[in-house]
Amino acid sequence: MKLSALFLIVLFAITTACNTPGQDSEANLNSKIDSVGYSLGYFYGTNLASEGVTEISTNGFAAGLNHGIDQADSQLTEEEMQIVLQTYQQEIKMQTQMRNQQDAEEQIQAGNEFLEENALRDDVQVTDSGLQYRVIEEGTGASPSETSEVEVHYRGTLIDGEEFDSSYERGETATFPLNRVISGWTEGLQLMSEGATYEFFIPGELGYGNNPPPGSIIKPGSVLIFEVELIDVKE
């Protein structure tokens, strides 16, 4: 892949000036090119971190970049470099899977304990799937089917009370087809009528399972709590 000359020059400046990842350093942003370099470095670093790469040899990176810019002979063959990168990517993937599995096991255990206790409440009902719900206010309008499009207001929290999403916070309702959301929502909203407000306690397997949205505070296996107001059913 060919990079523009400007990008290579700026990236070279970044790599030769940066410290070991994890250490704080203040950039000199007195010029436009300094700010460009900082911006590229920041976005590049966050992209690496999102892929699980939190350790990298900046010396090795700068040396490889220098050799590439100078069109010098590489210290590794192209095949060796491909093997190194592929092996490293596989190691990161395995480590991420192990962490996710550990997180999921911890969340499932905590979630099961929460749901067992929550099911004992007089105002909580449990469906055959394990979905738990509480009626805050009943509605008098139409009820959706699995294929209906619905308009709702909602607030989502974890079992520790931390909020991860809210249409109320955004100041606008959400509209979506009911068969394109997590199964806990698909099942739960069919129990409601327009004008109703329910609270749902959704087990991990009826939520995101071990695959929560990227960048979310939701951990694999998490129980999700939603307060949902069904505003309109759009057939």
| Spatial contact of 62 and 15, defined as CB atoms under 8 Å apart | yes
**Continuous H helices in 52-197:** 58-69, 78-118, 167-170, 183-189
Mapping DSSP to helix (H, G, I), strand (E, B) and coil, where does residue 211 land? Answer: coil
| Spatial contact of 177 and 189, defined as CB atoms under 8 Å apart | no
| Spatial contact of 228 and 197, defined as CB atoms under 8 Å apart | yes
Residue count of the chain? 235
Name the DSSP class of 135: E
CA 174 – CA 83 distance, rounded (Å) = 46
Q: Catalytic residue numbers? A: 154, 164-165, 182, 208, 226
